[in-house]
Amino acid sequence: MGCAVMAFDGPDPARRAEVRDRHLAVITAWAAAGRLALGVPLFNAAFKPVGSLMILTVEDRAGLDAYLAEEPFAVEGVWERVETMPFRIASLPYRPLPAGPAATSRTHTITIAYDAQDAEAPARRAAARPAHFERVTGWAKDGTLALGGAILDADGAAMIGSIAITRHASDAEAEAAWADDPYVTGRVWSTVQRWGTRFAALPYRPLPGAEV
């Protein structure tokens, strides 16, 4: 298990630029140590940074607190609002995460989806999961899916949503690609949010299930 950190910037965009080099130094060290599986910015429709998504491989709250205490974006007020959630990366045949110089345009889309909360919702997820998993396995193999997994409840026991980062350059492209996924057609997901992103070259460890 691990943790996903969704963080949203305050109103002053200059703060991010001022602190970015220190942020990169911290997340580079965490990636090299195997404690950061992925860290990417959130972009709005105008390709302006509005926050960050950090996928940590820490096992408990102490690990999360240690990261937030070191993270310059958290300590120095770049992030105005921080949401954390237990998260488990799906073991899939991922390709290596994109490397090289950071792209100058949006390359991927982050989809964050929460399940419906009616009494039958867990059964719908269980019924749709095999077909969904087969589909995203193919996406991982061909590089469409860079990383995906389940948002868990506070106890880390039940799956209550999903995070996926896919090689789609717009919300519309991502929405069209997900439209016939079993989690959509089977009414598993109730609310869906999307942001653009791109990757920076960091010394990431292979993701669970990745072909190395």
Judge whether residue 212 has pLDDT over 70.
no
Task: Give the other-Cβ count within 10 Å of 12's Cβ.
Answer: 12
Q: pLDDT confidence of 105, banded at 50, 70, 90? A: confident
User: Candidates 3.40.50.720, 3.30.70.1060, 3.40.190.10, 3.40.220.10; correct CATH number of 2-197?
Assistant: 3.30.70.1060
Quote the pLDDT of residue 68.
97
Q: What is the pLDDT of residues 190-202, one digit of tens each?
A: 999 999 999 988 9
Q: Angle at which helices 13-32 and 61-70 pack, to 10 degrees?
A: 130
Quote the pLDDT of residue 34.
95
Average pLDDT of the chain? 94
The DSSP bridge partners found for residue 112 are: 163, 193
* The CA-based dihedral angle spanning residues 109, 107, 88, 4, taken in that order and rounded to the nearest 10 degrees: -80
Arithmetic mean of pLDDT, 172-199 = 96
- The encoded tokens of residue 50 equal 């509005």
Q: What is the pLDDT of residues 36-76, one digit of tens each?
A: 999 999 999 889 999 999 999 998 899 999 999 999 999 99
